[in-house]
């Protein structure tokens, strides 16, 4: 960073840190609700936690929401989210939102992925989407006012079966579910039907550009070339009104749609070279939207599901789309306040950099939020962003549910267990959510590209800082991979450069201090008792708790061992 840029940055930071927050928005992502939730055997079978009948890939049973689970009531690590977790989450957002609404405007952005992974058939996918969207409309819309939804890769069936042609039947179906629930309408509905994208002005002067980045993914399924087979379809007698003994919640009908019973037996992906240059004309549209924002003097927030750059060793986008997006972002970096994404189930940030060969600098902040499902992850989470009057995204606060501890404490109180069984637990369970961190408090800087760049530079010489970053990620892969890849991910969105960085960079010295596992104080939940009583702990639960501790401790050890083998000066060696 040059001296003049540093001075400018210092003044900017001083001015920014004292700005007043004018409005806020919620980011919710990767809900992955498991309708057939059964946590008893964990994810041992097919990587999902599901009742046997629904797991059988040869049949499509009547859709239902499983009755409340007797163990792991709010979710289990490595499992997708049960209904009770969604209830708890929506109630918690409502509580926080009701409070902050008194201080300014509020809206919500949902960055995609409603259903759990690997559902057996299209009907289950559609019904799960409908179920969750109707609950969003009922429980979140009244308090958030407006929720802007996006398409995730699991909002298609099968996963990543996104059509490269505009106005596919499935895209229109999902659009109509959002429309029927009052979440989308007007011109937004039209482009969402076309390809899952739209723009909006949630607050005067702020433009939200909602993208379908799934279609740019390398993993898009080529349905025509994929080998398929048919499942035995077993719908309920009248699924429109069906609410049998196992379905406490009646599931509404999606009228006029006949469910496809084909599933994948051997999948084929669309090679990047064979893709249309600009599916749905989304890139051309984006360019026009940015031009219009410039003319209208709006600030821009870009939202998508799959983020640009790397995900555990693979590039997310086909290179041509990555370059197109990068070019548009660079050209309009002065307008774009921040980009927000999901998909990774990891809390991460990265940057788009300028292409100056000599002195590249960060020009756009790309924030990846971890999301609700605990499937790859220690804990469910969501974010609340704060924005100043001039539409600067000032900070975000991340809330999380300490899952293992919540499950354990919950099962010690018979009256709570009863509430859960009756599906009326959200008022209490929402009180178990905690503030995880605020970005500014944690790192001492805001979210602008130069500030993230500064943080990135500092991370390379401060093991403590990198440790903090990893602790916030809550990822179970911590300790397995070389941490250096995260530093590369922040800097290089392009696959080749990223690999080059990863090959040449290395960890050098200084072990971070041991990770302290935070004790959770449930006193405010449980007024009668002085503290939680740890009785009746299910052995499997204890297993997860120990597992979580081991991961954290293991990663510390790993860093320690690595550091011993290296020299003392710097922590990380950049290429
Ligand atoms: C799976 O479903 C098929 C079709 O309904 C059925 O014939 C088969 O018995 C089921 N398998 C198991 C293990 O339940
Ligand atoms: C996959 O997508 C294609 C193209 O949109 C569609 O024709 C097909 O029905 C989809 N498959 C399933 C099982 O939904």
Residue pLDDT tens, the chain, 575 long: 566 666 666 666 666 666 799 999 999 999 999 999 999 999 988 899 999 999 998 999 988 899 899 999 999 989 999 999 999 999 999 999 999 999 999 999 999 999 999 999 999 999 999 999 999 999 999 999 999 999 999 999 999 999 999 999 999 999 989 998 999 999 999 999 999 999 999 999 999 999 999 999 999 999 999 999 999 998 775 555 444 333 333 334 455 678 899 999 999 999 999 999 999 999 999 999 999 999 999 999 999 999 999 887 789 999 999 999 999 999 999 999 999 999 998 899 999 999 987 789 999 999 999 899 999 867 999 999 999 999 999 999 999 999 989 999 999 999 999 999 999 999 999 999 999 999 999 999 999 999 999 999 998 888 788 878 888 885 433 444 456 778 889 999 999 888 888 877 665 444 444 343 344 455 445 433 333 332 333 444 444 444 444 444 444 333 333 333 333 334 455 54
Cβ–Cβ < 8 Å for 333, 362:
no
Distance from the CA of 163 to the center of ligand 1, in angstroms? 31
Q: What is the CA radius of gyration of the chain?
A: 23
Q: Is residue 60 part of a domain?
A: yes
Atom of ligand 2 nearest to the CA of 262: 13
Give the pair of three-digit tokens for residue 301: 């927030």
Regarding the beta carbon of 549 and ligand 1, being less than 6 Å apart is answered no
Q: Is residue 114 part of a domain?
A: yes
Regarding the beta carbon of 56 and ligand 1, being less than 6 Å apart is answered yes
Distance from the CA of 220 to the center of ligand 1, in angstroms? 30
pLDDT at 505: 67
Atom of ligand 1 nearest to the CA of 231: 4
3-state SS of 129-195 is HHHHHHHHHHHHHHHHCCEEECCCHHHCCCCCCCCCCCCCHHHHHHHHHHHHCCCCCHHHHHHHHHH
Ligand nearest to the CA of 168: 2
Distance from the CA of 181 to the center of ligand 2, in angstroms? 24
Q: Is residue 524 part of a domain?
A: no
Instruction: Give pTM, 2 decimals.
Output: 0.87
Distance from the CA of 314 to the center of ligand 2, in angstroms? 25
* Spatial separation of the C-alpha atoms in residues 22 and 293, rounded to whole Å: 20
Report how far apart, in Å, the C-alpha atoms of 413 and of each of 45, 345, 529 are: 30, 31, 11
Q: Is residue 376 part of a domain?
A: yes
Q: What is the largest CA-CA distance in the chain?
A: 72
Pocket test residue of 55, 59, 230, 263 for ligand 1, highest count of atoms within 8 A of CB: 59
Distance from the CA of 58 to the center of ligand 1, in angstroms? 6
Q: Is residue 192 part of a domain?
A: yes
Domain total in the chain: 1
φ/ψ (deg, to 5) at 269 = -100, 155
Regarding the beta carbon of 44 and ligand 1, being less than 6 Å apart is answered no
The sheet that has 206-210: what strands, in order across it?
A: 198-203, 206-210, 299-303, 336-341, 362-368, 348-353
pLDDT at 471: 80
Q: Is residue 221 part of a domain?
A: yes
Distance from the CA of 57 to the center of ligand 1, in angstroms? 8
Ligand 2 neighbours, Cβ below 6 Å, are 122, 157, 161, 163, 168, 170, 223, 260, 262
Print the domain residue range for 217. 16-351+364-443
Pocket test residue of 46, 56, 61, 232 for ligand 1, highest count of atoms within 8 A of CB: 56
pLDDT at 11: 62
Atom of ligand 2 nearest to the CA of 157: 14
Atom of ligand 1 nearest to the CA of 56: 1
Regarding the beta carbon of 232 and ligand 1, being less than 6 Å apart is answered yes
Question: Residue 569 region, left (φ>0) first, then alpha (ψ -120 to 50), else beta?
Answer: alpha
* Spatial separation of the C-alpha atoms in residues 206 and 45, rounded to whole Å: 46
pLDDT at 252: 43
Q: Is residue 371 part of a domain?
A: yes
pLDDT at 515: 42
Helix 484-491 / helix 495-504 crossing angle, nearest 10 deg = 150
Atom of ligand 2 nearest to the CA of 168: 5
* Spatial separation of the C-alpha atoms in residues 244 and 251, rounded to whole Å: 10
Distance from the CA of 56 to the center of ligand 1, in angstroms? 6
For ligand 2, atom 5: residue with the closest CA? 163
For ligand 2, atom 12: residue with the closest CA? 157
Distance from the CA of 158 to the center of ligand 2, in angstroms? 8
pLDDT at 506: 60
Tokens 């989308």, residue located = 184
Cβ–Cβ < 8 Å for 563, 509:
yes
Pocket test residue of 57, 120, 161 for ligand 2, highest count of atoms within 8 A of CB: 161
* Spatial separation of the C-alpha atoms in residues 237 and 575, rounded to whole Å: 64
Pocket test residue of 124, 170, 194, 279 for ligand 2, highest count of atoms within 8 A of CB: 170
CATH code for the domain in which residue 24 is found: 3.60.21.10
Regarding the beta carbon of 550 and ligand 1, being less than 6 Å apart is answered no
Distance from the CA of 60 to the center of ligand 1, in angstroms? 10
For ligand 2, atom 7: residue with the closest CA? 223
C-alpha 534: how far from chain center: 32
Q: Is residue 574 part of a domain?
A: no
Cβ–Cβ < 8 Å for 157, 125:
yes
pLDDT at 487: 86
* Spatial separation of the C-alpha atoms in residues 434 and 451, rounded to whole Å: 26
């Amino acid at each position: 960073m040059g001296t003049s840029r540093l001075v400018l940055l210092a003044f900017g930071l001083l001015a920014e840190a004292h700005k007043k927050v004018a409005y806020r928005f919620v980011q919710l992502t990767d809900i992955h609700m498991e309708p057939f939730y059964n946590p008893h055997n964990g994810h041992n079978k097919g990587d999902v936690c599901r009742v046997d009948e629904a797991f059988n890939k040869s049949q499509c049973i009547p859709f239902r929401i499983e009755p409340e689970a007797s163990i792991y009531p709010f979710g289990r690590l490595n499992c997708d989210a049960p209904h009770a977790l969604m209830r708890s989450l929506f109630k918690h957002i409502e509580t926080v939102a009701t409070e902050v609404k008194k201080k300014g405007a509020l809206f919500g952005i949902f960055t995609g992925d409603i259903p759990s992974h690997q559902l057996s058939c299209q009907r289950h996918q559609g019904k799960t989407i409908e179920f969750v969207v109707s609950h969003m409309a009922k429980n979140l819309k009244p308090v958030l006012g407006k929720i802007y939804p996006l398409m995730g890769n699991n909002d298609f069936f099968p996963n990543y079966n996104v059509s490269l042609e505009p106005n596919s039947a499935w895209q229109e179906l999902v659009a109509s579910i959002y429309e029927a629930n009052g979440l989308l309408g007007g011109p937004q509905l039209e482009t969402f039907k076309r390809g899952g994208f739209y723009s909006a002005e949630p607050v005067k002067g702020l433009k939200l550009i909602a993208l379908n980045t799934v279609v740019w993914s390398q993993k898009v399924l080529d349905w025509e070339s994929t080998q398929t087979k048919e499942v035995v379809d077993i719908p309920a007698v009248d699924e429109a009104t069906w609410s049998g003994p196992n379905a406490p919640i009646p599931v509404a009908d999606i009228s006029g749609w006949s469910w496809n019973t084909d599933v994948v037996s051997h999948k084929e992906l669309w090679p990047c070279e064979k893709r249309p240059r600009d599916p749905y004309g989304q890139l051309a549209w984006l360019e026009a939207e940015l031009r219009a924002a410039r003319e209208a003097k709006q600030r821009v927030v870009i939202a998508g599901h799959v983020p640009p750059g790397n995900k555990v060793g693979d590039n997310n986008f086909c290179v041509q789309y990555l370059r197109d997006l990068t070019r548009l972002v660079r050209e309009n970096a002065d307008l774009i306040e921040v980009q927000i994404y999901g998909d990774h189930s990891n809390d991460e940030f990265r940057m788009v950099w300028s292409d100056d060969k000599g002195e590249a600098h960060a020009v756009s902040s790309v924030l990846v939020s971890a999301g609700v499902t605990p499937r790859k992850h220690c804990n469910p989470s969501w974010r609340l962003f704060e924005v100043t009057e001039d539409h600067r995204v000032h900070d975000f606060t991340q809330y999380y549910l300490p899952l293992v501890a919540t499950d354990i404490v919950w099962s010690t109180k018979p009256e709570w267990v009863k509430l859960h069984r009756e599906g009326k637990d959200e008022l209490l369970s929402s009180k178990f959510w905690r503030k995880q961190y605020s970005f500014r408090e944690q790192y001492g800087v805001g979210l602008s590209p130069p500030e993230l760049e500064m943080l990135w530079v500092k991370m390379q010489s401060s093991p403590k800082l990198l440790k903090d970053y990893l602790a916030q990620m809550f990822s179970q892969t911590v300790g397995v991979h070389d941490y250096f890849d995260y530093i590369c991910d922040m800097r290089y969105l392009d696959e080749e450069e990223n690999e080059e960085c990863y090959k040449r960079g290395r960890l050098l010295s200084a072990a971070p201090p041991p990770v302290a596992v935070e004790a959770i104080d449930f006193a405010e939940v449980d007024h009668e008792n002085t503290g939680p009583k740890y009785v009746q702990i299910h052995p499997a639960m204890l297993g997860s708790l120990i597992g979580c501790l081991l991961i954290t401790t293991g990663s510390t050890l790993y860093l320690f061992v690595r550091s011993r083998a290296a020299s003392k000066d710097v922590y990380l060696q950049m290429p």
